[in-house]
Amino acid sequence: MSIPQYLRQISLKVGNDQKALDLSDLRIRFSIRRGDLKTPNSADIRIYNVSDATAQLIRKEFERIVLQAGYAGNFGVIFDGTIKQVRRGRESQTDTYLDITAADGDSAYNFAVMNTSLAAGSTPDDQLQAALKAMASRGISMGQGMTLSTNKLPRGKVMFGMVRDYLDVLGKTQDASWSFQDGQLTFIPNTGYLPGEAVVVTSATGMIGLPEQTQNGITVRMLLNPSVKIGRRLQIDNASIQQLRYGLSLGDQPANEMAQTTVKLDSDGFYRSIVVNHSGDSRGNEWYTDVICLSIDATIPLSLLNRPETPGSVGSIGPVKPYG
């Protein structure tokens, strides 16, 4: 997909189930942080010259905030979450501001618990549905996902505890990463990507500067693009990527080998986004999307296979638990 980026657009709405306010006409600055980690996404949004009455309404009554941004022909949601903190301040004698800090899915992450049991013969999808049922009251529904295996448990399973812990186990057994994206649970295969056409990233479609290969992945900056989602494919010309400099000392060899495996260049130029940060100013120059992505066929190096905290890794063999 290749859509020229011009004619900025922005929409900011805050509210609750009964009413909402549209603050799109005011000056808005924002910084949105999104990743494929289970840690909830977050946003810092600054709104200028809000009236005292509106500020009090947002502080006391409103819970949800939805920010949309982009360009004509490529406009969409870049953050949908709950308001966690509201602060007022002043930048100058004439300009006041209202700062809103928000999070996406933090209520489900911190407080959703499971207290159920599954009969013998249950599948991974049954476990996923049980987790979704436990998070429904926290505003979480199923988003884009993957086809889970159909393996059946030979006996019943008791599920009691934090939902996030069971999602961790389900992610490891299905070799997938899970996260909350705009109020929805997303499952992405560690060796795959979300369905849909790849976002073409070139100078003609808004790429700023040149992509760079780092130890964290391929980093690229572009004009704000709401089509770039966590787990979606990007198509980048490998010839434009500035390659990582490897160390020459003997001690650098393990790091070099890891980089060659995890942050290598894809032979076809297709990459999966794992971090998507948006920043902008509706009346300023800043209007960017910063992405960290990995090759579609990147693999986990052997040195990480015994690290249970790494999504998709395999932990050491522990004692057998006879009661599940």
Q: Is there a contact between 201 and 220 (Cβ–Cβ < 8 Å)?
A: yes
Residue type, 153: L
Distance separating alpha carbons of residues 262 and 216, to the nearest angstrom: 9
Distances, alpha carbon 20 to alpha carbons 13, 15, 66, 85, in Å: 7, 4, 10, 17
DSSP track, 305-323 = TT-TTSTT--PPP----TT
The yes-or-no verdict on residue 307 having pLDDT over 60 is: no
Percent of the chain residues topping a pLDDT of 90 = 69
Fold agreement (8-105, 199-304): no
What does the pLDDT read at residue 309?
52
pLDDT of residue 319: 45
Strand partners, 30: 45, 280
Locate the DSSP E strands across 206-269. Answer: 207-214, 217-223, 233-236
φ, ψ dihedrals at 52, nearest 5°: -60, -40
Using alpha carbons, select from 287, 291, 274 the residue that is nearest to residue 230: 274
pLDDT tens, 99-145?
Answer: 999 999 999 999 999 999 999 999 999 999 999 999 999 999 999 88
Model confidence at 202: pLDDT above 80: yes
Q: Answer whether residue 308 shows pLDDT above 80.
A: no
Angle at 288 between CA 97 and CA 264, to 5 degrees: 140
State the architecture of 199-304 in CATH terms: Beta Barrel (2.40)
Q: What is the mean pLDDT of residues 220-236?
A: 95
Mean pLDDT of 158-187: 93
Judged against a pLDDT cut of 50, whether residue 324 lies above it is answered with no
Residues comprising the chain, all counted: 324
- pTM (two decimals): 0.86
Residue 180 pLDDT: 95
CB burial of residue 54 (10 Å; 0-12, 13-18, 19+): middle
Q: Where are the domains of the chain?
A: 8-105, 108-189, 199-304
Q: What is the pLDDT of residue 261?
A: 78
SS3 16: coil
State which amino acid sits at residue 92.
Answer: S
* Tens-digit pLDDT profile for residues 1-28: 556 678 899 999 999 988 999 999 999 9
Band (317; pLDDT cuts 50, 70, 90):
very low
**Band of residue 313 on the pLDDT scale cut at 50, 70, 90:** very low
Which class is 108-189 in CATH?
alpha beta
Which residue from 284, 320, 293, 157 is spatially nearest to 217, judged by alpha carbons?
293
pLDDT one-digit tens code per residue, 256-267: 787 777 888 888
Q: Please give the CATH topology (third level) of the domain spanning 8-105.
A: Factor Xa Inhibitor (4.10.410)
